Amino acid sequence: MEKSKTRSGVRKGAWTYEEDKLLKSCIIKYGEGKWHLVPQRAGLNRCRKSCRLRWLNYLNPTINKESLSEDEVDMMLRLHKLLGNRWSLIAGRLPGRAANYVKNYWHTHLQKKMVSRKLEENKEKEKLKETVTPHEIIKPQPLTFSANSPWLNRKHSNFVTPIVAVSTKDGTVAKYSDTENTMFPINGTDGNSTMSALWWKNLLNVSNDKIASCSLLQEDDSILEFPNVNFLTEVPNVNDSNWDSNLYEFDSILDILN
DNA sequence: AAGCTTCGCAACCGCTCTACA
DNA sequence: CTGTAGAGCGGTTGCGAAGCT
């Protein structure tokens, strides 16, 4: 980097050993943060951004400067698939690795790999398209339940209200339990009665665009998307049912990936 | 050996987010 | 609600080293 100055007279370019020393001792003395005060405190003719970057990417003693292990590269690939170019988040999951380092490593080593792999996979897909005929989609049919079925047998009740929950694309959970459309009457007492399959039909009538794809299990190259999912930004309400919670702990997502 | 090209990485820039008055 | 300043992030740039001809 060329040793130059900005219009405001602040030094730019590569850091010298003396500058590093000054910055390091300043951070040790005052701690991280308040970066706007750092140049003054350290006696450096650098902007606060430059100081922060130098510390975070190079001087910080927690930084691991050794080359990435296979495990770390694997983790990086998985995290990038999940998070995209969120380098700081990815770096946060790789102990001792700075965001800038992760970003540079991705651009210099992994991006090409990913591009060539994608091309290969596209070729494979094209081949498969030529040889495999499309499957006929068979919709599941309503079952006919016996009124004697133990799980339906409720004392003093002629109705059973199944609660069906469908995960939707917009992150909400549609619950099909309204009594008017989903209750199925248990007819008579002759033992041969069947139940109305109205609730099941209603379930099938849920439009396709409301049913979310099972993207977590996809293994293609598209970036996994979690609509309306906040990462560690809110604490789920403990009173919510399991279905109501669309907030995921980051670790849970990692578990899914592993 | 010299010139040219490519690669890796440190650093910069501009934008967004957040806190606060 | 709005403006401002600080902090942080991701994209991009440009230098120096390494490799190639």
pTM above 0.75, yes or no: no
pLDDT tens digits, A17-50: 889 999 989 988 888 888 888 888 898 888 888 9
Give the number of other CB atoms < 10 A from CB of residue A38.
Answer: 24
C-alpha atoms less than 13 angstroms from C-alpha of A103 in its C-beta half-sphere? 9
Q: What 8-state DSSP symbol labels residue A156? A: T
pLDDT in tens, A203-228: 334 433 333 333 333 334 443 444 33
- Domain annotation covers residue A184: yes
Residues with CB under 7 A from strand B: A 1, 6, 11-15, 46, 49-50, 53-54, 57-58, 100-101, 103-105, 107-109
In a domain, A253, yes or no: no
How many structural domains does chain A have? Answer: 2
Is A42 part of a structural domain of the chain?
yes
Nearest nt to A16, CA vs C1'? B10
At A138-150, the pLDDT tens digits run 555 544 444 444 3
At A93, which amino acid appears? R
Tell me which protein residue sits closest to nucleotide C6, measuring alpha carbon to C1'.
Answer: A36
The reported pLDDT for the residue numbered A256 is: 44
Give residue A115's pLDDT.
66
Distance measured from the CA of protein residue A164 to the C1' of nucleotide B11, in angstroms = 55
Q: Tell me the CA end-to-end span of chain A in Å, nearest whole number.
A: 41
For residue A194, pLDDT beyond 50: no
**Domain span holding position A54:** 4-59
Please tell me the distance from the alpha carbon of residue A223 to that of residue A85, in angstroms, as a whole number: 10
DSSP at A36: G
CA of A6 to C1' of B5 (A): 31
The DSSP letter of residue A155 is T
Alpha carbons A28 and A48: distance in angstroms, whole number: 16
> Average per-residue pLDDT in chain A?
62
Reported as a pLDDT band with limits 50, 70 and 90, residue A199 is very low
Give residue-wise pLDDT tens across range A154-191. 333 333 333 333 333 333 333 333 333 333 333 333 33
Residue A39 lies in a domain: yes
Answer with the one of A59, A80, A98 that is the final residue of a domain: A59
Q: How far is the CA of A86 from the C1' of B17 (A)?
A: 15
- What one-character DSSP code corresponds to residue A42? H
Helix (H, G, I), strand (E, B) or coil at A193: coil
pLDDT band at A124 (very low <50, low <70, confident <90, very high): confident
Which pLDDT does position A193 carry in this prediction?
36
A9 part of a folded domain: yes
Residue A246 lies in a domain: no
Whole-number distance in Å between A27 CA and C18 C1'? 35
Pairing state of beta strands A164-167 and A159-160?
A: unpaired
Nucleotides of C under 7 A from a protein CB: 5-12, 14-16
A195 and A212 Cβ atoms separated by less than 8 Å: no
Give domain status of residue A197, yes or no.
yes
Buried b (16+ CB within 10 A) or exposed e, A228-240: eeeeeeeeeeeee
Q: How far is the CA of A221 from the C1' of B12 (A)?
A: 32
